Amino acid sequence: MRQELETEQVAVRRTDLRGSRGICCESCGRPLEVWCEDCGCPVSCHDFIYPGDTERLPYCLWDFGPCPKEQRPVFMAALEVWLRDIRQHAAERRQAA
CA distance 14 to 51: 29
pLDDT given at position 15 = 42
Q: How far is CA 73 from the centre of its chain?
A: 15
CA distance 50 to 56: 5
- The 10 Å Cβ neighbour count of residue 60 is 18
pLDDT given at position 36 = 93
How does pLDDT run across 22-79, given as a tens digit for each residue? 566 666 666 667 889 999 998 989 999 998 888 899 999 999 999 999 999 999 999 9
Can you give the pTM of this predicted structure?
0.62
Start-to-end Cα distance in the chain: 48
Kindly tell me if the per-residue pLDDT of 96 is higher than 90: no
